[in-house]
Amino acid sequence: MKKIITLLAFICCTTVANAQLGGILDKAKTAAGAAGFDVNKLSSSIVSTLTSKLKLSSAQIPKVTSAVTTFMQAKSQILPLLKTNKTEYTQKQTGLFSNLKTSLVTTLAKDQMNKFLGLKPATNDPANALSSLFY
């Protein structure tokens, strides 16, 4: 009888520990998602938006995709500065955005480039994928 009670107690403890660990893992995944971002998913969303807003041609799409993905990969490296050193983050973000504009100037027509710059959201809105380009 003691063995059965001991076994049941062990199973209950294991089940509770696994449930708590699962909750901790879910919280860790959520925190990781909030701290960073999925470069490929975000780049795809941005290019999709730019394709419709700027009426990109099929020849422009791969070039814009490459430029945006490169920018987002570089930005993902400086994101920790947003919490530790906002001034340095702003400086690096400005430099990265300047490089992005240089890349896009060779791909986009002048009117498309002007329209692109006009797409800057008024504020940093996480719901707007384009915010991650400008802020």
Q: Rounded to an integer, what distance in angstroms lies between the CA atom of residue 121 and that of residue 67?
A: 20
Contacts with 81 (C-beta within 8 Å, 6 or more apart), sequence order? 88, 89, 92
Contacts with 111 (C-beta within 8 Å, 6 or more apart), sequence order? none
Q: What is the DSSP letter of 135?
A: -
> Chain-centre distance of CA 73, in angstroms?
9
The predicted structure's pLDDT at residue 126: 85
The predicted structure's pLDDT at residue 25: 39
Contact indicator for 96, 88 with CB cutoff of 8 Å: no
The predicted structure's pLDDT at residue 12: 52
Tokens of 80: 């920790």
The per-residue pLDDT string of the chain (135 residues; one tens digit each, 9 = 90 and over) reads 665 665 455 565 455 545 554 544 344 333 334 445 789 999 999 999 999 999 999 999 999 999 999 999 999 999 999 899 999 999 999 999 999 999 999 999 999 999 999 999 999 888 899 999 998
